[in-house]
Chain A
Amino acid sequence: MPGDIKDKVAVVGVGACQFGENWDRSREDMIVDAAYEAYADAGIDEPQKQIEAVFCGAVYPREGSAEIAEALKIFGKPISMVSDYCQTGTDAFRFGALAVASGMYDTVLVVGFDKPKDRGVSGPSVNFDRVRGLPATPAGWFSLCAARYFETFGAGREDLAKIAVKNHHNGTLAPKSMLKREITVEDALNARIISWPFGLYDCAAQSDGAAAAVLTRADLAKSFRDDYVLVKAVTIAVSEHPQRDPNFDFLGWKPTQYAAKDAYRQAGITDPFQEIDVIQLHDCFTMTELLTYEDLGLIERGSAKEHIASGTFEIGGELPVNTDGGLKTFGHPTGATGVRMIYENTLQLQGRAGPRQVKDAKVALSHNIGGPPTTCGIAILGRDA
């Protein structure tokens, strides 16, 4: 029987660099920005002494752990690299939390980062190293639920557009977001198509960025800061390949459904819509956000359209989602995204989220989904024990 991690590990510092097309910032620049902001947030002034291990997540670089060691000048200590599609950041956080919970280390650093804008292409690159499964673009993968879902539940591109409008608005409220521009439903509907039904505004903004978090044992957390937050659950789940699974119904993504079940078990959550106050979820595409409302069990299957229309998931709604603009406008440096969500949820739980603050947020969930998609990571943080 798997156990749980509830209330054993605390987040005592978070940081993020400015997200965007950071043409004049290197990976080292961004890693240092994020980590040193997290150190300062935790009150750590001798990181080389106080940090006992580092857990990193990044998808694009190939230099491994040495790059982090060199950037942070942390030597002679364990540094691990995770690379597993879009749930990389949450998985790095999971390894960090498990390492602390195991009693092996008191205080660890988690860093997620990526710099896709050094590759010379806007958007993902296309693979020609095989003949099957092409075109293997993320937009193509994630659009595969659209036709069937639309037909079954009567939703359409207008519902997706409203999600883009919401996340564009939220991004204007987050200082470190990449895009700070309101859009209209018409803007979204009229944009050029990337992979139907996704137009340009249905797709996340690929950006550079890094985010960091300092984790420590719950019983040591108070020595860093009073308003630390607790890890209530962290898990990943790997599903059947949706393009091979003979039973897949193309109405929702299984990785999220699997991971949510385990995360709620760990956190003791039985009614997620009522018990969770704020959510950062993986809006790589607007349709992913729509399906995730349902895959997380927040609302009934097929009812997303009504909730989108009524503003359930807007800031000020019953359950605000992607308060910082999400992948859509905060930006999506793949390996950083899960840790950026920890950053935003920690600020929300500590009441430090400024104009996008969700009132009296006590429980926050973050969610990544990646691959075709096949993998999901979920972390739940809470203010109170």
Chain B
Amino acid sequence: MSGIRAHGAYIPRTRLPLSLIAGRPAKDGGPEKAVAYDDEDSLTMAVDAAVDCLRGFDREEVDGLYLATTSYGLREKQGAAVVAKALDLRRDVHTVDVSGSLRAGTSAIDAALNAVGAGAAKNVLVVASDCRMGAPRGALESKLGDGAAAFLVGKDAPIAKVLSSHAVSAELQDYWRLDGERFTHQWEDRFVVEEGYVPSMIEALRGAIEKSGKTAADFSKAALFTPEARSVGGVMKKVGLRPEQLQDFLFGRLGNAGAAFTPILLVAALETARAGDRLLAASYGDGAHAFAFEVTDAIGKLPQRRGVRGHLDRRRPLKSYDSYLRSRGLDPKEWSAGADLGLSATVRYRERDADIGFVGARCFECGQVHFPKTRVCYRCHSKDKWEPHRLSDKQGRVLSYTFDYFFPTAEPPTIMIMTEVDGARVQVQLTNAEPADAKLDMPVEYVFRKIHNAGGKPNYFWKASPVLEGV
């Protein structure tokens, strides 16, 4: 039976303490939300979550990549293709963008389960990632948070088998964002909850429970989308779920992560699930979509992932509301970043393996690894004797560093480092770090990040990040 073979998540380390929005100082342990930083967006978070999900799995086995997001910046041009390249997936991977609704995440999961169930694909990687913004100091700002979750969907030894899936469609104007707008709108909240959220969720959950042949009491946890904490109680009561069955929806820590919200909560539920547990997951948006899963013995064999827990615990609270505005590009700028054409499309095309895939070349005469690819080997001078060599999943070592106050960025300085990885030398920026964290010879891992917005579009490369303890 089709199901989830692996899961992973990403929650940005940067947090906005909610008190800063109101102009009050941040308190330790006070409510906060996760914020994609200056160099992050829904695509970089998708790559991070996917990397987490693929820990211990062969990327060559991935037949499809479904990316669910409402916040990828380009209306025309696929995000999934960028993610697939960054993950160095096979060329014949089927890439799909699912968008337009907060239900995009669960729609992508459903599509993947169906593709696998029908035998059209063996393994589909589903990544849900969202980075929505409420207007500065507006009603939604404190409620929305950023994050991503990923699932490897397949038939081979799933850790959670799907028991049922039930979707309902409802047409009402609850949340929306017009083309070209940066901020999400919401109609009056009681209307959204009473006419939209509550009836749709009840219908979807009842449908999924009924199709699964179980009763509400048979489920250990329910991972439920909710616009705010108090809205979920009525739904659970009507469906027959007790409060202790509710998966913590992380308000005050993550925030409502849009199309990635339910997927993130499902990952959190799987992180504590044991073989035999049954889980419900339901998303909302233009209707609702609920699933029932049964956890299998295979869950004990899944290699440890960073997941929701690992990311939530690693925090970098912002010190001021100003730095939040800067990190999201909401501060006024003297010059428009998108004033020029940006990168040459042809150069970007030729450099795609290096820039997006972070793939170098290994000389098969002498073994020297080069980044970027070069035709004549630095060491043995043999010509064109190379094979692709992926560096994105390797650890590097810091050889030197500098703190550059000149480069325009949200919060200078930019930490520029020289790293050595598999014998190749790579100059990158260090993210997730302050200058005091930079040390000679420290180990780093590589993360996919947005470097700048030349041409008015996101331009990506890899950065280094200090290696985390544990996974």
Contact = CB atoms under 8 A, between A and B. Distances in A.
A128 to B, nearest CB: 4
B405 A132 contact: no
Given A129-B343, A132-B354, A246 B403 contact: no
B403 A137 contact: no
Interface in A290-334: none
B418 A246 contact: no
Interface in A138-166: 139-140, 143-148, 151
Contact of A246 (B344, B416, B424): B424
A193 interface: yes
B405 A131 contact: no
B461 interface: yes
Contacts of B459: 128, 131
Interface residues of B, number: 43
B276 interface: no
Nearest to A151: B440
Interface stretch (B17-25, B238-246, B266-274, B394-402): B394-402
B78 to A, nearest CB: 19
Given A128-B342, A131-B355, A132-B355, A123 B406 contact: yes
B155 interface: no
Interface residues of A, number: 34
Contact of A131 (B374, B408, B460): B460
Interface in B372-398: 372, 374, 378-379
A297 to B, nearest CB: 23
Contacts of A134: 407, 429, 451-452
Contacts of B99: none
Contact of A148 (B408, B420, B440): B440
Interface stretch (A17-25, A169-177, A237-245): A237-245
A250 interface: yes
B435 interface: yes
Contacts of B212: none
A250 B351 CA distance: 27
A137 B407 contact: yes
A286 B390 CA distance: 38
Contacts of B431: none
Interface in A202-246: 240, 243-246
A197 B400 CA distance: 12
Contacts of A147: 400-402, 440
A192 interface: yes
A339 B401 CA distance: 33
Interface string B413-430: 110101010011101010
A133 interface: yes
Interface string B279-307: 00000000000000000000000000000
Given A130-B343, A243-B427, A192 B440 contact: no
A246 B454 CA distance: 31
A244 B370 contact: yes
A195 interface: yes
B418 A144 contact: yes
Contacts of B355: 131-132
24 contacts: A124-B406, A128-B340, A128-B454, A131-B343, A131-B459, A132-B355, A132-B427, A133-B427, A134-B451, A135-B429, A137-B404, A144-B402, A145-B400, A146-B400, A193-B405, A193-B413, A194-B405, A195-B402, A195-B405, A244-B374, A244-B425, A246-B370, A246-B420, A248-B425
Given A140-B407, A244-B371, 8 more contacts: A123-B406, A124-B406, A131-B451, A131-B460, A137-B406, A137-B407, A195-B402, A244-B370
